Structure 1
Amino acid sequence: MLFFGHIGLTLLVVFLIALALKIGVDYRLVIVGSLLPDLIDKPLGEYIFSSIFHNGRIFAHTLLFIAVLVIIALLVAKKYRYWGFGILTVGAVFHQVEDQMWNAASTWFWPLFGWGFPQHEIDNYIMYLLSNLLSRLDIFAPELAGAVIVVAFIARFRLYRPENARAFILTGRFADRTKVKPLSLVKQ
């Protein structure tokens, strides 16, 4: 899965859960969390340290990474009563599920099976991604679905209007008539 698949599918699932629980969520953190493993691993593994890793799924695609995020989220929530890191973690968990990381056990369970990561010999990573997007239905379909979901959110919450876009950028919430309570550790 690439960009829109991660954002759109994660956004939809978290939105439906938050709606069912009637809690407010900072969707900016959902979006960042849905991309976080790739934002960390792709630059490191495919560009900065490409001669070492040759792989865009390294540290941030592991369960250890999720465990560290959970610990940070719990510590921050306990001390500051802020669940933002928890929301970020949820996005990162969905990213790993969408990438089906259990199929790459040596990466997902790193370092239990050794300190190294699988290496892939790819000359031009951008062309590799584009080729896969255009030739593999298992990559194209989630990207298309994610893009449709993102467009639907933009249309539904009128994010094309500057005031709504600005409100979303500043608060991470979608302007809606549905009343939700903010996610916190204390009852309000």
Structure 2
Amino acid sequence: MMFFAHMVIGLIAGFILYEVYHDQNVIIFCAIGSVLPDIVDKPLGLIVLKSVLDASRIYFHSLVILFLFLLTGLFVWRYYHSNSFLCVALGIFLHQILDFMWNSPDRWFYPFLGPYQVEEHDNYFFRVLVSELSSPTEWVFLLAILVILLGAGISWYQKRPVIVPDPLRERQQHRLYSGLLGVAIFVLFLSLAIIFLWQPYQTVLI
């Protein structure tokens, strides 16, 4: 499934959770999680590790990474009362489901079913760009995203508090910024571990 389609699903999941928890941050983190596997795996597999993998659905499309986010999310929720990682984990899970990852068990259950199979992708990013721009459904999903964001922005603007000081809003903003920073650091750590520790080890074994 393509980028904007994934993001629409993430936004929908986020808005559903918002109706339950009344926390705007869940929308952002679900949306991030819904596109995170492609944001990480495509540059990682097709640029950084192209010589050994040349694949677009690798580590962040696996259940292992999902499990790590889920465990981290439970820890962060328990000790810091933030749902950021759990929402990102939900987005990643939805992404994997929409990519039908069970049809690629060697990737979904990696590394338990053996190493990745090396692929060949010529001019991958150009072909993806052309595919995105020429797909009517992607334009529909992009329009849906803009409508959703516009509607949400208008709704929140109309409901903004008259009194400026709002401790609850300040706490939500703090959780948003700290959550974004935490997720970014976690993703960076996992990516560096894959590039410099795990993948060289796998290459030697192969």
- Aligned partners of 1:9 and 1:149 also within 8 Å: no
RMSD, matched Cα = 2.8
Deviation at 1:44, TM superposition (A): 0.9
Ranges in structure 1 where 5+ consecutive residues have no aligned partner: 165-173
Secondary structure at 2:39 match in 1: helix
Counterpart of 2:22, as a letter, is I
- The structure in which a higher percent of residues are helix is 2
Deviation at 1:55, TM superposition (A): 0.3
Secondary structure at 2:69 match in 1: helix
- Aligned partners of 2:13 and 2:30 also within 8 Å: no
- Aligned partners of 2:62 and 2:107 also within 8 Å: yes
Q: Return the alpha-carbon distance in structure 2 between the equivalents of residues 48 and 123 of structure 1.
A: 15
Q: Return the alpha-carbon distance in structure 1 between the equivalents of residues 89 and 132 of structure 2.
A: 27
Deviation at 1:132, TM superposition (A): 4.0
Counterpart of 2:143, as a letter, is V
Deviations 1:52-102 (A, max 9, x none): 111011111001111000000001111111111111111111111121111
Counterpart of 2:164 in structure 1 is none
Aligned identity (percent) is 27
TM-score when scaled to structure 2? Answer: 0.69
Counterpart of 1:44 in structure 2 is 44
Counterpart of 1:31 in structure 2 is 31
Secondary structure at 2:52 match in 1: helix
TM-score when scaled to structure 1? Answer: 0.75
Secondary structure at 1:113 match in 2: coil
Moved more, 81-90 or 126-135: 126-135
- Aligned partners of 1:62 and 1:110 also within 8 Å: yes
Moved more, 104-113 or 2-11: 2-11
Counterpart of 2:72 in structure 1 is 72
Ranges in structure 2 where 5+ consecutive residues have no aligned partner: 161-170, 176-206
Deviation at 1:17, TM superposition (A): 4.2
Deviation at 1:177, TM superposition (A): 4.2
Counterpart of 1:29, as a letter, is F
Secondary structure at 2:51 match in 1: helix
